[in-house]
Structure 1
Amino acid sequence: METETLVLAQEIDFSLWGLFARATFTVKLVMLMLIVASFWSWSIIFQKLITYRTARREAGTFDRAFWSGEPLDALFEKIGPQPDGSSEKIFASGMIEWRRSHRNDGGMIAGAQARIDRSMDVAIAKEAEGLQKGLSILATVGSTAPFIGLFGTVWGIMNAFIEIAEQQNTNLAVVAPGIAEALLATGLGLLAAIPAVIFYNKLSADSDRIVGGYEAFADEFATILSRQLDS
């Protein structure tokens, strides 16, 4: 009997494709959802890594230009009112409001400092929203994928026990395939969740640091404009 069981077990295809092909429709659907979620997460991860690297490089380039000693008006004329870089957009929003706050006689309209601060805050909020876009998907995948995989495992094991009861046979050739198919769903859930959680934490921290740099620049720029207002 043991020899016959081992022969039957060896004839079973335990490859990933074989386990997927034998799974029930519900378990297959769960596996496909987890595979799609995993690819979706990785696409967001690579996109954000590229976006953040570009943002840091752009911010470094603009900081060097800003602190080079070039007049602010000349720098603004060079980058224009609708630049591409995030730091440049924040700078441009402040400069646009600065120019709008001048009266025809050369004086300043009351409340100019507050309006400049608000315009830069709005620009920072827009850039922060763009940086953080997609991170909620990583958080969702990281928190739900294990439970989706567990659901597939529970469903698969339930069907495995039903098959055992119908065949009234508990040898390895009957038990192993159903259990293996069920556990594959949990494995896929963890495969999707672990990278999503790790990179969500990393990318969230990177986003906070980049936005913090924008806020620090806005404060420094506001200070410079405040000195000119007081003078």
Structure 2
Amino acid sequence: MKIIKVKNNQEAGIQAAQIILEKIHANPGCILGLATGSTPITTYQNLIQAYEHKQVSFKDVITFNLDEYKGLNPTNPQSYRFFMNNELFDHIDIKIENTHVPSGLHTQNPALYDQKIHKAGGIDLQLLGLGVNGHIGFNEPGTAFDSLTHVVDLDPSTIAVNARFFDSIDLVPTQAISMGLKTIMNAKQILLIATGTNKAEAIAHLINGEITPNWPCSILQQHPNVVIIIDEAAGSMLK
């Protein structure tokens, strides 16, 4: 496990984008696992900037996103498909048919998503954020370590945190479809970003804590190739 310490989320975005760019330069057809939420926005901004400066092409890159809210149409401004198009895909030369986001509408057999990933060759680098309760993707505390892509009931703390993106907390979906913990662990490399004091407890459990489903992020201790980017606030509870 490699830990990179930065000053803030802006610097985290620069560092994370550089790692992703190095992966694309080494393999222009690499498969990236992507995340949503506020944490990776600066990373995506730096990737867009690199594309605009002709430092990279995404035309052969394939992506698989971690999760999607159950019940939201891809055109819904709060859907993660809409987020990805708006924050990244619409601004680079990636082929939209090479971008994959779990369907929030067709959730009868979510593990088919894992089959798509396997058929594509497996994820070369998986980008992750981190929930205040230790969730990665939408794998809430108690999720089985051997879980594949599945429908999850969102924890009240997750709903409360995500309410800032909606007009009302009552509009936040209570379920989502998410890559499972085993799906995430199958990635060849994992890159996790966490900034802010509210992530400090989860980071402490991720790096120094017992490996337990009570803190889903702790499973990353068992992965052979993990890079964690944190600022001083997120690392404030580390021993």
> What's the TM-score, normalizing by structure 2?
0.18
Larger radius of gyration: 1
Structure with bigger helix share is 1
Give the number of the structure with larger relative contact order, counting CA–CA contacts within 8 Å between residues 6 or more apart: 1
> What's the TM-score, normalizing by structure 1?
0.19
